[in-house]
Structure 1
Amino acid sequence: MPDLTLHHSENQHPRMSLRTKLLALINVVLVGSLVLGLAADYRHGLSTRLEDKRVSLNEEAALLLPAIQRLQEHGADAVQQFIDQACARMQSTTSPGHHIAVDIEGRTLQAQIHHRASSQFIEVMRRSTDNQRDHVAIGGHTLVVGADHEDHVHVYVSEFTSNILTEARHGLLARAAGGILLGLALAAVINLVLLRLVTRPVSRLVKTVRRIGHGELGLGTSRFSTAELDELAREISAMSRSLADNDQRRRLQMRKARNIQQHLLPDTERLKQFGIFYSHGPAEEVGGDFFDAQIGNPDRLLICLGDVTGHGVPAAMGAAMLKALFDHSAQQYNTPGDMIHHMNQRFCDITLDGDFASLAVLMLDRTTCQLTYVSAGHEPGYVLHGDGRITKLGATEILLGVVDHIEGAEQTVSLEPGDRIVLLTDGLVETMNAGKQLFGRDTLVQILRDHDQASSEELIHILADKADAHRGACPVLDDVTLVVVLV
């Protein structure tokens, strides 16, 4: 009988590997450091270049000042011609926006050759000098200004900062490229180190643990170069050995439990002498199906077939308990109804809440060919009549363990010599294939019709083989017990 316990599963979300997390963290730190470093370097480099240019322009102004002082004796035209010639010699590619202006005793002269002369331009140059600023803006351009003066003569020299900004940006790009290459090289080295020291060892450990989980108990793993992983490997190996030892003890205990359960079943060869044939196949080492037959004389048979919920040891304990209850009830009561009534009361008294069992008790009187039975929620049985008819033996009561009192309602079926009674547990009809399709009762009935001439023993083998063929490579999910009784 299937386990009625509900199971809940958690969704497994893909997780990032340790190596990926470490690389991501390292790369974030590297990129952040690179960005901050480049920003600071760019600001420092730009400030240095602007200061160098201002010093250079101051030196140029200092060189022009003596010449202008001498030329002022020859008049303003001579000074104008001189500053125009000086400005013309400066190339726009190397000194963009180069401009010279002179204040001589209240009169202002500006180089005219590049058509930059304006009152706004000279005012900006004066302001920059007065405020000691590295650069000032005018007309969408940024200027850096140098100056020198003596007596009443002031010389101003300026240039656009476009070349300086371009050089600073080129330097930034070069350093960024270098930083990226260095970061890639560092990431590659770290990746190789992590691959060697973390990823591969952890993958080996994961494979070992997975193999242990798949049943290779006792499997160990080799040593590692790092202390932490080596300690983990030793613990995994120790765990594997411990699991192997425990599994060996469990197997010995389960083998003994299986032998005990087999011993509780009636003797196959003896039952054959009375026309009773059966097969018992637990889904695990032990199971929850229970079968017994008591023969007072060859003409009076008492048969009991039960199925406890669940599988394995708990179900086997329930089946053993049903065996004891059946033996006691058969000695105390004379009818299947009274027997199952008593068995249900005792079952409710000694089992846990939520433990249930299906049970069918049948009494066959061969002298009268009368079958009296009670079915407490058990899988239907069938009568194969000699004329080819099939009669279904349905349930007459609810499962054992649901309520502590059941009436034990009986059904009586008239049979003929040569008829056969087929009993089974639900593990047969609930056999499932890879497509989740059940073997089903309709298939069972059709097989009974198609093989109604087979012997009782052959019929059991045919049903078992058909169920195995239907299941294919899928695992056995429930215990299967088959019984055929010749009337």
Structure 2
Amino acid sequence: MLELGIELIVPMQLQRKTRGIILLGNRAGNRGFNNSDIEYIYSVGNLAIISLENNRLFLEALEKQKMEEDLLIARDIQRNLLPSTLPEYEKYDIAALNVSSKQVGGDYYDVIPINDEKFYIAIADVAGKGVPASLMMANIQAFLQVICRQNMKIEDATAMINDLVTANSSEGRFITFFWGFINTKTDILTYVNAGHNPPYLLRGDKIIKLTQGGMIFGVMKTFVPYIFEDVKLQKDDVLILYTDGVSEALNLQFEEYSELRLERIGKSLMHKSANEILNGIKEDVQIFTQGNLQSDDITMIVLKVR
């Protein structure tokens, strides 16, 4: 340091940790630095570090406040897009829930009546958190409300929604999506699954997974047609639609709730009403994850054929 003309090195400390140093060259008049000089420089240096640290903490607080405001906006968007009530049908008992995590995600569900003979059910999970995910969820809701009333084939309508999502989403954002409509006269469910967790159709001692469909939304424009499937519903059938916030809920040992456990609890509750099945699954997830924070939204629809 002497070769560089440095005569004095003074540490800049905060909470006994050195956060910087002050380098001083030869003093004018070739006078050295006495103890009072060094103490003064040390004090000024520490005040400078404290000022910089306070500025950093202030900027962090502003950023945190902005993030919290964004989360409140996202929660409002999500809450306003989900149905406040569900339609009632003589032959179908329907219940649904959405339990938001602290980090608001983009879970979406809907039950959309078209006429006395037809209604849609839909569930989606938007990748990501916060306002961007909620805005994509808003797009899905808007697309659905329009397209499901156009009397299009469901596979063509699914392709159109994917193309709209792809055109209106940034790279790396995608949506898993399941939807279908039920003809209330024939009891036929016609559905398409776009990369979503396969819903369960519980029938007696059987579990049928609804897997037919195609790729998730938002990756690229549709180049392979989506496939639909017709399923004839029977009395006492139970249909469970869910997002991965259910099956991937973690306990304190970082073990997942799992699809297998969901299947088992669903089977054990299928003699109950749709609302009782829904609450039974919710309570079982809470028991499993007890003590661990919820990291993702939990969204489910349960439909039981009377």
TM-score range, shorter chain: 0.7 to 0.9
What SS does structure 1 have at the residue aligned with 2:217?
Answer: coil
Q: By how many angstroms is 1:447 displaced?
A: 0.6
Residue in structure 1 matched with residue 113 of structure 2 by the alignment: 295
Q: By how many angstroms is 1:258 displaced?
A: 1.1
Match of 2:81 among 244, 260, 264: 264
Separation in 2 of the partners of 1:335 and 1:450?
Answer: 36
Separation in 2 of the partners of 1:330 and 1:461?
Answer: 29
Residue in structure 2 matched with residue 450 of structure 1 by the alignment: 268
Map 1:64-213; keep pairs closer than 5 Å: 198=13, 200-202=15-17
What SS does structure 2 have at the residue aligned with 1:305?
Answer: strand
Residues 280 and 199 (structure 1 numbering): CA distance in 2 closer, same or farther, change over 3 Å?
closer
1:247-284 per-residue CA deviation (whole Å, 9 max, x = no partner) reads 3344234313311221011123x446773211113334
CA contact (8 A) 1:333 1:339 kept: no
Query: What amino acid sits opposite 1:255 in the alignment?
Result: L
Q: By how many angstroms is 1:388 displaced?
A: 4.6
Residue in structure 2 matched with residue 417 of structure 1 by the alignment: 235
What SS does structure 2 have at the residue aligned with 1:331?
Answer: coil
Query: What amino acid sits opposite 2:296 in the alignment?
Result: D
CA contact (8 A) 1:456 1:486 kept: yes
Query: What amino acid sits opposite 2:228 in the alignment?
Result: E
Q: By how many angstroms is 1:305 displaced?
A: 1.0
CA contact (8 A) 2:103 2:295 kept: no
Q: By how many angstroms is 1:446 displaced?
A: 0.7
CA contact (8 A) 1:282 1:288 kept: no
Query: What amino acid sits opposite 2:17 in the alignment?
Result: V
Residue in structure 2 matched with residue 438 of structure 1 by the alignment: 256
Separation in 2 of the partners of 1:401 and 1:329?
Answer: 17
Match of 1:328 among 146, 153, 166: 146
What SS does structure 2 have at the residue aligned with 1:291?
Answer: strand
Residue in structure 1 matched with residue 162 of structure 2 by the alignment: 344
Residue in structure 1 matched with residue 188 of structure 2 by the alignment: 370
Query: What amino acid sits opposite 1:460 in the alignment?
Result: L
Match of 2:49 among 222, 227, 232: 232
Query: What amino acid sits opposite 1:232 in the alignment?
Result: I
Residue in structure 2 matched with residue 134 of structure 1 by the alignment: none
Match of 2:210 among 363, 371, 393: 393
Q: By how many angstroms is 1:329 displaced?
A: 1.5
Separation in 2 of the partners of 1:363 and 1:418?
Answer: 18
Query: What amino acid sits opposite 2:81 in the alignment?
Result: L
Query: What amino acid sits opposite 2:44 in the alignment?
Result: A
Task: State, as a whole percentage, how many aligned pairs show the same letter.
Answer: 24
Q: Which has the higher contact order (CA 8 A, sep 6+)?
A: 2
CA contact (8 A) 2:13 2:49 kept: no
Separation in 1 of the partners of 2:15 and 2:158?
Answer: 63
Q: By how many angstroms is 1:246 displaced?
A: 4.2
Query: What amino acid sits opposite 2:181 in the alignment?
Result: M
Residue in structure 1 matched with residue 64 of structure 2 by the alignment: 247
Query: What amino acid sits opposite 1:202 in the alignment?
Result: K
1:27-83 per-residue CA deviation (whole Å, 9 max, x = no partner) reads xxxxxxxxxxxxxxxxxxxxxxxxxxxxxxxxxxxxxxxxxxxxxxxxxxxxxxxxx
Query: What amino acid sits opposite 1:420 in the alignment?
Result: V
Name the TM-score, length of structure 2 as normaliser. 0.78
Which 5+ residue runs of structure 2 have no aligned equivalent? 1-10, 20-41
1:99-136 per-residue CA deviation (whole Å, 9 max, x = no partner) reads xxxxxxxxxxxxxxxxxxxxxxxxxxxxxxxxxxxxxx
Query: What amino acid sits opposite 1:392 in the alignment?
Result: K
Residues 351 and 245 (structure 1 numbering): CA distance in 2 closer, same or farther, change over 3 Å?
closer
Q: By how many angstroms is 1:200 displaced?
A: 4.4
Name the TM-score, length of structure 1 as normaliser. 0.51
Separation in 2 of the partners of 1:199 and 1:249?
Answer: 28
Residues 249 and 438 (structure 1 numbering): CA distance in 2 closer, same or farther, change over 3 Å?
closer
What SS does structure 2 have at the residue aligned with 1:307?
Answer: strand
Match of 1:356 among 174, 181, 185: 174
Q: By how many angstroms is 1:379 displaced?
A: 0.3
Structure richer in strand, relative to its length: 2
Residue in structure 2 matched with residue 460 of structure 1 by the alignment: 278
How many residue pairs match? The answer is 273
Structure richer in helix, relative to its length: 1
Residues 230 and 380 (structure 1 numbering): CA distance in 2 closer, same or farther, change over 3 Å?
same
CA contact (8 A) 1:381 1:392 kept: yes
Residue in structure 2 matched with residue 96 of structure 1 by the alignment: none
Q: By how many angstroms is 1:480 displaced?
A: 2.0
- The structure with the larger Rg is 1
Structure 1 vs Structure 2 CA RMSD:
2.8
Q: By how many angstroms is 1:363 displaced?
A: 0.5
CA contact (8 A) 1:299 1:367 kept: yes
Match of 1:319 among 114, 132, 137: 137
Query: What amino acid sits opposite 2:254 in the alignment?
Result: K
Residue in structure 1 matched with residue 98 of structure 2 by the alignment: 280
Separation in 1 of the partners of 2:67 and 2:14?
Answer: 36
Residues 200 and 294 (structure 1 numbering): CA distance in 2 closer, same or farther, change over 3 Å?
closer
Q: By how many angstroms is 1:199 displaced?
A: 7.3
Separation in 1 of the partners of 2:114 and 2:149?
Answer: 11
Query: What amino acid sits opposite 2:159 in the alignment?
Result: H
Residue in structure 1 matched with residue 290 of structure 2 by the alignment: 472
Match of 1:404 among 196, 216, 221: 221
CA contact (8 A) 2:74 2:130 kept: no
Residue in structure 2 matched with residue 164 of structure 1 by the alignment: none
Runs (4 or more) in structure 1 with deviation over 6 Å come to none
Separation in 2 of the partners of 1:198 and 1:260?
Answer: 46
